[in-house]
Amino acid sequence: MERRKVALITGSAKGLGKRTALALAGQGCDIVLNYVRSREEAERLCEEIRGMGVRCTAIQADVTRTEDIRFLVKEAERQLGAVDILVNNAGPFIRERRLFADYTEEEISYLLGGNLTGVIALDHLVLPLMRRNRWGRIFHFGFGHAAEAPGWPHRAVYAAAKVGLVSFTKTLSVEEASSGITVNMICPGDIRGENKEKLIREVEHLADEESPRGRPGSGEDIARVIAFLCMPESDFLTGNIIDVSGGLDPIRSLKGGVKL
């Protein structure tokens, strides 16, 4: 009997990470949840996933800290035996709009660590076992139109980290293709609040005036793309920067003006 694939999803106690964990569990994967402060939510989700007939564990780790990243991968491999799928969902974001000159050095390091260098470090740690197994799926998260390297006023550090990740995604996908490892970037639209955990059917009749599609996005919109790319038959799809946004450009409004 073939071993079930093990999926590690960072930042998965809530939001898009939670919906992705449920989707991959539904596809028969064992799941490693990751959280920083949301222990109760992670434990409840763990029980729900175990009820789906797969294994699940929850590990506390901050993806902006190198020692935590090492611990996360070591514990995932110790408890469940492997990391076949890595979903780099966690990524710090400062909601307040601010000029680059007004960021502190600590905030700059925090944003770069969580959105770029921490992601690279996690990928580096899971690659050896994926290579030995000749199979792997790695996912990065970006923002709409990230592949175009746009300027994003008031989001300078976050945007720089994600655009750097675009190049890294494309490079790693080429380097690891012969090892059976695919690397893709998912770029969600403006999926807000509770919608991050909802199914498409729960939002498809709601109106969203900012969305060209006309409805808000849901967690399932993102999770179903990841689940599809995790299928064995999806091994020819790699190095892609995939906007899952309903046509929304997060930087410019429908009228073309910069969102300040």
- pLDDT tens digit sequence for 58-97: 999 999 999 999 999 999 999 999 999 999 999 999 989 9
What are the pLDDT digits (tens) for 100-157? 999 999 999 999 999 999 999 999 999 999 999 999 999 999 999 999 998 899 999 9
What are the pLDDT digits (tens) for 188-222? 988 999 999 999 999 999 999 888 899 999 999 99
Other C-beta atoms closer than 10 Å to the C-beta of 50 total 15
Instruction: Give me the residue spans of the domains in the chain.
Output: 6-244
- For domain 6-244, give the fold: Rossmann fold (3.40.50)
- Please, are residues 111 and 163 in contact by the beta-carbon 8 Å criterion? no
- Comparing 2 with 80, which gets the higher pLDDT? 80
Rounded CA-CA distance 16/194 in Å is 10
Rounded CA-CA distance 74/23 in Å is 24
State the pLDDT at residue 130: 98
pLDDT higher than 50, residue 257 = no
Joined tokens for residue 122: 């996690």
Other C-beta atoms closer than 10 Å to the C-beta of 101 total 6
Give pTM, 2 decimals: 0.94
Q: How confident is the model at residue 249 (pLDDT cuts 50, 70, 90)?
A: confident
CA–CA distance from 153 to each of 94, 111, 115, 121, 230 (Å)?
13, 16, 18, 28, 34
- Please, are residues 210 and 163 in contact by the beta-carbon 8 Å criterion? no
Q: What 8-state DSSP symbol labels residue 179? A: G
Q: How confident is the model at residue 2 (pLDDT cuts 50, 70, 90)?
A: confident
Rounded CA-CA distance 59/42 in Å is 9
Q: How confident is the model at residue 42 (pLDDT cuts 50, 70, 90)?
A: very high
Rounded CA-CA distance 80/4 in Å is 10
- 75 — alpha (psi -120 to 50), left (phi > 0) or beta? alpha
